[in-house]
Amino acid sequence: MSHDANSAEYQPLAPLNTLGGRTPHGLKSRKANKPLKENKPAMEVCDVTLDEVVDLELAGRLTATAIEQFLFFLNQVPFPVSRLAKLPTSNDKNRRLRNDFINAHKKLLQDMRSGLSTLSSISGEDSSHAIQVVITLGSIMMPRATMLFQMPGIEKDLTKRPPIVENQLSGVTIPGDEPPPDSDSDPEDGSSSSGNPANTVKESTVSTPAIGSVFVPFQDTDPVIGPSEGSPSTPPARRKVLTGRRSGLSNVPRTSEVADENQTSKARLDKRFRTAERDLTMAISNLDLLTDEIELSKVYVYLRAPRTFELDGWHPRPSAAKVLDTLIRYPQVDSLASSKLAKMNASVVNVKLANKDPPQEDHHAGDYLWLEWDGKLMGVE
């Protein structure tokens, strides 16, 4: 009896040549382990709330992070892509495969960024349409794993906002562009005729926010022109314009200070972007469906866009529309067990913004299509 019991305990063990899960026998034994699968849900959904307003830079960085983490947690890449090129290997074949993966991954990120930019431009002023990207391992008809990544549309006011340096320097250049005062004009007439130039200088100075220790025109403690200088008939408003022109030497330190402030603002913004990327990574790492080590597979990427979308690197895939539309309508699916979603090993990652309602459901699904990335990205050891 004891021998039979020991035999019963030993029987289910996998052969020694299945270590690593790469051989056919190992994969078969892994799939036969049904109790582990039964404990996992048919679909997982996680929400990531950010304080940032979505612009093109943030959308591109978060999408790249989602793709890289999806591949990393499903064992399609042994290390983050940034470290993969530095990983030593003595095998020429592995080195070639890694280089192919790195180049394909770089092309994917470039095409994705171009796709998001084109999507933003053809959406007009309406930024309510969410960015929806689907990544699958294997064909969409029989995927080994699937992830839907969606986030709010790109805000238009941020993409059209002029650079900070141009705004700051506008208060410097405008006073210098004013025509010189007419010395032959009557003082009273000069006061009335100089209203518009003086107002222009004032508006440029007031509308430009003072940042840090940036030089603000006409507010120095030591005036450039003393009270005894200048024509006594020159009105005070005209004297301000003259002061702005005569103090041209202050442009150099002011430009330097504004550039330093721009670098500080860029560093602060980059830090907030890294915080958003870290929050997204933490959310993806907590998904139970992304804990399996899936065999190396071809990666497919899909982007939902209006029918007017045309861009190299993306081509329409009508045959995948039914499955992908079912995936983005996951809240309305009554029974996940009876739907195709139960067999897709699907995860949904929603990026939401604090103090802002999520995009409304799109009622014009016929106006949109799914595009497939035409590159070739294959998992690598």
pLDDT in tens, 46-77: 888 887 778 888 889 999 999 999 999 998 98
Q: Name the pLDDT band for 107 (thresholds 50, 70, 90).
A: very high
| Per-residue pLDDT at 114 | 93
| Per-residue pLDDT at 109 | 93
Q: Name the pLDDT band for 26 (thresholds 50, 70, 90).
A: very low
CB 258 within 8 A of CB 169: yes
Cα–Cα distance, 93 to 101 (Å, whole number)? 12
Does residue 319 surpass a pLDDT of 70?
Answer: yes
Torsion angles phi and psi, residue 102, rounded to 5 = -65, -45
Average pLDDT over residues 142-161: 76
- Give the distance, in angstroms, between the CA of residue 231 and the centroid of all CA atoms in the same chain: 57
Please write the tens of the pLDDT for every residue from 333-365: 555 554 667 778 888 888 888 766 655 555 455
More confident position, 92 or 77: 77
What's the angle, vertex CA 83, arms to CA 80 and CA 86, rounded to 5? Answer: 150
- 319, with CB counted inside 10 A (0-12, 13-18, 19+), is exposed
Please write the tens of the pLDDT for every residue from 270-292: 888 888 889 899 988 888 877 77
Q: Name the pLDDT band for 39 (thresholds 50, 70, 90).
A: low
| Per-residue pLDDT at 49 | 87
| Per-residue pLDDT at 164 | 40
| Per-residue pLDDT at 340 | 66
| Per-residue pLDDT at 134 | 95
Q: Which of 83, 74, 93 is nearest to 346 (CA)?
A: 74
Cα–Cα distance, 70 to 145 (Å, whole number)? 9
Cα–Cα distance, 273 to 252 (Å, whole number)? 31
| Per-residue pLDDT at 261 | 65
Q: Which structure tokens are listed for 121?
A: 């431009």
| Per-residue pLDDT at 245 | 42
Please state, in angstroms and as integers, the Cα–Cα distance from residue 197 to each residue in 14, 166, 203, 227, 234, following that order: 87, 20, 10, 22, 14
Which of the residue ranges 22-26, 39-43, 162-166, 184-188 has the most confident prediction, judged by mean pLDDT? 39-43
| Per-residue pLDDT at 332 | 56
Does residue 24 surpass a pLDDT of 60?
Answer: no
Q: Name the pLDDT band for 255 (thresholds 50, 70, 90).
A: low
What is the rounded (10 degree) CA torsion for 169, 175, 176, 180?
170
Q: Which structure tokens are listed for 129?
A: 């349409």
Q: Which of 291, 302, 245 is nearest to 63 (CA)?
A: 302
Cα–Cα distance, 359 to 361 (Å, whole number)? 7
| Per-residue pLDDT at 111 | 94
Average pLDDT over residues 161-170: 41
Residue count of the chain, please give it.
381
Please write the tens of the pLDDT for every residue from 206-243: 343 444 444 444 444 444 444 444 445 545 444 443 33
CB 205 within 8 A of CB 191: no
**Would the pTM count as exceeding 0.85?**
no
| Per-residue pLDDT at 358 | 57
**Checking phi first, is residue 146 left (phi over 0); if not, alpha (psi -120 to 50) or beta?**
beta
Does residue 38 surpass a pLDDT of 80?
Answer: no
Q: What is the mean pLDDT of the chain?
A: 68
Q: Name the pLDDT band for 249 (thresholds 50, 70, 90).
A: very low
CB 113 within 8 A of CB 301: no
